[in-house]
Amino acid sequence: MLRTLLLLLMAAGVLGFSAVAWVSMHPAAPVVVQVQKVQVLAAANTLRAGQLLKPDDLEIREVTDGEVPTGARRDTPQARSELFGAMVRQTLLPHQIVLPADVMRPGDHGFLAAVLTPGKRATSVGVDAVSGTAGLIWPGDHVDLILTQQIDDVNVPIGCRFAGETVLKDVRVIAIDQQLVQGAGGGGADTASQSRTVTLEVSPEDVEKVAVATRLGRLGLAVRPVDAGMPMDMKDHAVTCSRDVSSAIGNMRRPSEVQVAPSMHVYEGPTDKEYHF
């Protein structure tokens, strides 16, 4: 009986040793914990206080779900649209997540007062998606304001019935209609033909010029270079007439302007002859 018990114990020991050896040679697969990450909007570069946000100022930053700061905006078209044109309240470093306290958006109370340069005024003009450079301008850009008008005075030469001129130069865009920001193609043909509103930062004297220009004809915008070191062209440009653009119109004349070749009648008896010179 004792011998049988010893044999059983020895067999159990061998089995236990074999089990331990098998487990050590076949470790269990590691447990993979899935960490969920979300994409939030962050600064793509250093953003200075007072700067107006453009599309290339924002980037996507991935963080774990538990690390998302309160108020961080997840990357969606609506979230990006809400930030475009917003003013940076305090300097943001590259890759820093943009929070509500960091920006002031157009429409917020006091936005225009905060973004305007001292001594300047804000005035709005209506442009369509084409004359507004088809969605290529953004708050913070500097533009020229161009007036194109039709002159109906019959005493004006045909070659100058349509005229264009630069009304204002190097003015800053401080706010822009959201549909124009999205571009002419964002809302179809009907949307592209509708009027948009662009708010410009101008001097008190230029406010009156803009008010008159809006009544004279169609307004368009031309974007200026971003290089702040370039000297601004202060020379007044002459008015560009339709004859300066189209040679066909330039060759047209009013009936009163047509020159008639001189002629002379010579009478010889019952007949006469007309000679042209």
103 versus 257: which is more confidently predicted?
103
Using one digit for the tens of pLDDT, what is the confidence trace for 217-240? 888 888 888 664 444 554 556 788
Model confidence band, residue 120 (pLDDT cutoffs 50, 70, 90): very high
- HEC string of the chain equals CHHHHHHHHHHHHHHHHHHHHHHHHCCCCCCCCCCCEEEEEEECCCECCCCECCHHHEEEEEEEHHHCCCCCCECCHHHHHHHCCCEECCCECCCCECCHHHEECCCCCCHHHHHCCCCCEEEEEEEECCCCHHHCCCCCCEEEEEEEEECCCCCCCHHHCEEEEEEEEEEEEEEECHHHHHCHHHCHHHHHCCEEEEEEEECHHHHHHHHHHHHHCEEEEEECCCCCCCCCCCCCCCCEEHHHHCHHHHCCCCHHHCCCCCEEEEEECCEEEEEEC
Using one digit for the tens of pLDDT, what is the confidence trace for 122-173? 998 887 655 444 457 888 889 999 998 888 777 777 777 788 899 999 999 9
Q: What domains appear along the chain, each with residue ranges and CATH number?
A: 35-115 (3.90.1210.10), 117-277 (no CATH)
